Amino acid sequence: MAGLRIVGRALVDGKLLDEVTVEIDGEFISSVSIGESGSGPRLLLSKGQLLLPSATDLHVHLRDWDQAYKEDVFTGTSAAAAGGITTIAEMPNTVPPIRSPEALRERLKLLATRAVVDYAVHIGPLKKPEDASRALELGACGMKLYPEDLERLEDYLRVSRESGIRLVVHAELKGGDEVETVKMLLSYVKAGDDIRLAHISRAESLRIIELAKKELGARITVEATPHHLLLSYEELDENSRRISTVRPPLASMSDRQYIFSGLKRCSVDFIASDHAPHTLEEKLSGKNAPGFPGLEITYPLMLTEWFEDRLDISTLVKKLCRAPAEYLGIPKGEIKKGFYADLAVFDMRERWSISAKDFLSKAKYTPFEGRKLSAKLISVFRRGELIYNGELIAKGGGIHVSELRQKHG
C-alpha cells in the first residue's frame, strides 16, 4: 500500500526545489521526485512552507534521575520534537553520572521507555579500556571529558586509542580559558585520533583548530551552539545577562562573527544546542547553574539566518542535520530515497517571537526571549510518523541509534 506523499517546496541534494514529491513508505523515504507524482494520501504544502530534514543534536542534557526537577527524559525529548529535532545525543553529567557500562545500561532503559525522539548516549570518563569496549558494545557514541577530567587527558587519549571510543571535549580548564585549553589539548593529539570539540566560543580557539585540522592528520571536529553563533555578552540587556550564564561564557561580537564564518569555511562541523536546563530560581540566585534550554529554538533560529541571507540553506542543513547524523552513523538528515523519513515542515511566511513560557522544556526562559524569527515549525515526522503538528502528538517511541542502524540493514 502506498504511504504518505508530501508535495511542495523541499531541499533535495543541497538545492531548494519548488515542487517535489517525497513518498514515505513505513519508516523510510521510498522516493523523491520532481513535480507531483504518485497516488494515495497526500500532504500538500502551502506557499511559504518548506520541507526539510529534521535535525540531529549531538549535545543535549536531559537531566532526569536526581535532577528531574530541572528536566526529565520525556520533557526534554518533547522539547526536541517541538524544535524539529528527531535524534539527540545525551551528555553523561547526570546525577548520578553515566560513567560505567552499568549506568549506561540503566540510562538506555529509561530512554527506551520515555524518549519521544531517537537517541544516543555519551559516556563519562572511563579509566579502563575494557570498560570503554563494553560501553561501545552497548552503543556509547563517544566519551565526554569535562574540564575537571583534563588533568588525566593522556590516560583518556590512551583509552580512546586502545578501545576505539571517540572523545568529546569541553575545552575549558579550571582557571584557564578556552584558547589555552585548546592549545594544550591539541599538543597531545596524534594522527588517527578522533576528537570532537564541544561548543567552541572564541575566534582564537577556532583559528588554532583550523590549523590543527590541516596539519595533525587527526579527525578533529567542532561544534558550535546557537548562543555562541548569535549572541555576545556586550549585546545583551541586563535581564538577559542574568540568565545567559553558560560554559563557555558568551564571548565578544567579533568572536561570534568568526565562529559564524567558520560554518561557511567548514571548520565548524556541527550546530548543537547544548540544551542545559536549570530552574529559573537557580539561574536568578546566581548559583552554579551554567546553561539554558535550547532544543526548541535552535533550528528556527538558524533557519532565520538563512532567511535573512546570512547563510546558505545547504550549509545550514548539513551542520544541523546530515553531519551530526553521519557522526552517529545513521541514515538521517537528508531528503533522499532509503533514508529515514525524519522530516520537518517550516512556514517561512509566519513571523513570530520567541516566548519561553511556551517551551515544553521544564526550563521556561532563554536569552533569546522576544527575538523575532522567520521560520515557524509546522510539523515533524520521526521515521514516517507524525509526532508534532503544533502540538506534541507522540508520548514516546524513540529508539536507540544502534537499533536505527540495524533496521536500516
Catalytically annotated residues: 274
**Nearest approach, Cβ of 358 to ligand NCD (angstroms)?**
22
The residue (of 53 and 83) whose beta carbon lies closer to Zn ion is 83
**Nearest approach, Cβ of 144 to ligand NCD (angstroms)?**
9
Binding mask 312-341 for ligand NCD (x = CB under 6 A): ------------------------------
Short-list 372, 273, 341, 356, CA closest to 52: 341
Distance of CA 157 to CAs 138, 152, 154, 167, Å? 20, 9, 5, 8
**Nearest approach, Cβ of 93 to ligand NCD (angstroms)?**
5
d(CA 216, CA 195): 12
The residue (of 114 and 228) whose beta carbon lies closer to ligand NCD is 228
Subset of residues 40 to 69 that bind ligand NCD, contact rule: CB under 6 A? 61
Q: Is residue 178 within 8 Å of residue 200, measured between CB atoms?
A: yes
Binding-site residue total for ligand NCD (CB under 6 A)?
9
Residue 383 interaction partner, one of Zn ion, ligand NCD, none, beta carbon < 5-8 Å per kind: none
Question: How far from the centroid of its chain's Cα atoms is residue 142's Cα?
Answer: 14
Of the candidate residues 93, 100, 133, 314, the single one contacting ligand NCD (CB under 6 A): 93
Subset of residues 260 to 279 that bind Zn ion, contact rule: CB under 5 A? 274
Q: Is 274 in the site for ligand NCD (CB under 6 A)?
A: yes
Q: Is residue 374 within 8 Å of residue 351, measured between CB atoms?
A: yes
The residue (of 172 and 274) whose beta carbon lies closer to Zn ion is 274
Helices 153-163 and 178-188 sit at what angle, rounded to 10 degrees?
50
Short-list 396, 325, 339, CA closest to 23: 339
Residue 341 interaction partner, one of ligand NCD, Zn ion, none, beta carbon < 5-8 Å per kind: none
d(CA 49, CA 62): 31
Comparing every residue's Cβ against Zn ion, the nearest one is: 274
Q: What is the DSSP string of 328-355?
A: TT-S-SS--TTSB--EEEEESS--EE--
Of the candidate residues 3, 38, 176, 290, the single one contacting ligand NCD (CB under 6 A): 290
The CB-side HSE value for 398 (13 A sphere, CA atoms) comes to: 30
**Nearest approach, Cβ of 289 to ligand NCD (angstroms)?**
7
Residue 31 interaction partner, one of Zn ion, ligand NCD, none, beta carbon < 5-8 Å per kind: none
d(CA 145, CA 124): 7
State the residues that interact with ligand NCD by CB under 6 A: 61, 93, 170, 246-247, 274, 276, 290-291
State the residues that interact with Zn ion by CB under 5 A: 274
